[in-house]
Amino acid sequence: MRFLLLLLLTGCAGMQAVVPVETLVFRCNDSSLLTAREAGSRLQLMLPVETRELSRRPSRVGRLFKAKNVELLINGDQAELTIARQGTRQCSRDRGAEVWQDARFRGVEFRAAGTKPGWFAELSDQKLVYAGDYGQQKLSFLDAQSFNDDNLVQTTIVAVNDGHRIKLLLQTGDCWETASRRMFDIRVTLDLDGRIEYGCGKKLR
């Protein structure tokens, strides 16, 4: 999942370069989850006990990143992680998990998604962003309001803009999200101008 990060070029006053930053998630053969953020020749690798900064090195195949005692080789949707005194792990890319991790890095507090048609909604600091019809429709809402019921088993989020009204009903319960192929703990019913859509959600912050 990509977004744009503006980096100042040292030695070139007033000039800026746009460097794409990509969030990568891999599932490894020891059942561990590997998360990384790649930006040009640099890669930030999030390990269970620490975060390491790796630099890209020449490689005949794939993209090779190295730091002291750590090496990550990415070749397509496969990756090989080698850590000194810990051996090598074989990992496969989990693209379904990447959109959720990327949203967390962007500061999204709550994210919901569904299919048929594909849609998602993201809430950050009372700003609600909705994308529907597989990205063909995009709407932004400011000052989204949240209301909890007395039993704290469901939450309603409501927002309006100049031409649309959106309401999300969040209910605690198991929910299988098809696109990412994983189970979530919040069921979501979305009402956009009377059109009902269903999906799953997760608190990210």
Same domain? For 23 and 73 the reply is: yes
Question: Does residue 121 share a domain with residue 88?
Answer: no
* Share above pLDDT 70 across residues of the chain, in percent, rounded to a whole number: 90
Does 34 lie in the same domain as 122? no
Does residue 156 sit within a domain? yes
**Domain interval for residue 150:** 107-203
Q: For 32-73, how does the pLDDT look when each residue is reduced to its tens digit (9 = 90+)?
A: 999 999 999 999 999 888 999 999 999 999 999 999 999 999
- For residue 6, the SS3 value is strand
User: What is the SS3 assignment for 102?
Assistant: helix
Domain shared by 122 and 168, yes or no: yes
Q: What is the pLDDT of residues 5-33, one digit of tens each?
A: 444 334 444 556 678 899 999 999 999 99
Pick the last residue of a domain from 45, 67, 96. 96
The residues, ordered by sequence, that sit 6+ positions from 186 with a Cβ below 8 Å of its Cβ are 112, 170, 171, 172, 173, 175, 200, 201, 202, 203
Q: Tell me: do 83 and 121 sit in the same domain.
A: no
18 by Cβ neighbours in 10 Å (0-12 / 13-18 / 19+) ranks as exposed
- Assess whether 90 and 144 both reside in one domain: no
Note the pLDDT of residue 4: 42
CATH assignment of the domain containing 171: 2.40.128
Is 101 among the domain residues?
Answer: no
In a domain, 122, yes or no: yes
Pair 143, 60 in one domain: no
Together in a domain, 78 and 11: yes
**By C-alpha distance, which of 50, 23, 188 is closest to 198?**
188
**Number of structural domains found in the chain:** 2
How far is residue 79's CA from residue 47's CA, in Å, rounded to a whole number? 15
Q: Is the dihedral of CA 38, 43, 48, 50 positive or negative?
A: negative
CATH number for the domain that contains residue 80: 2.40.128.200
**Site of tokens 């569904």:** 114
pTM score, whole prediction: 0.81
* Residue whose structure tokens are 């994210």: 111
Q: Which of 53, 52, 72 is nearest to 62 (CA)?
A: 72
121-165 confidence digits (pLDDT tens): 999 999 999 999 888 899 999 999 999 887 767 999 999 998 999
More confident residue, 15 or 118: 118
Residues 107-118 have a mean pLDDT of 92
**Claim to verify: residue 71 and residue 152 sit in the same structural domain:** no
Q: How far apart are the first and last CA of the chain?
A: 19
**Do both 136 and 175 map to the same domain?**
yes
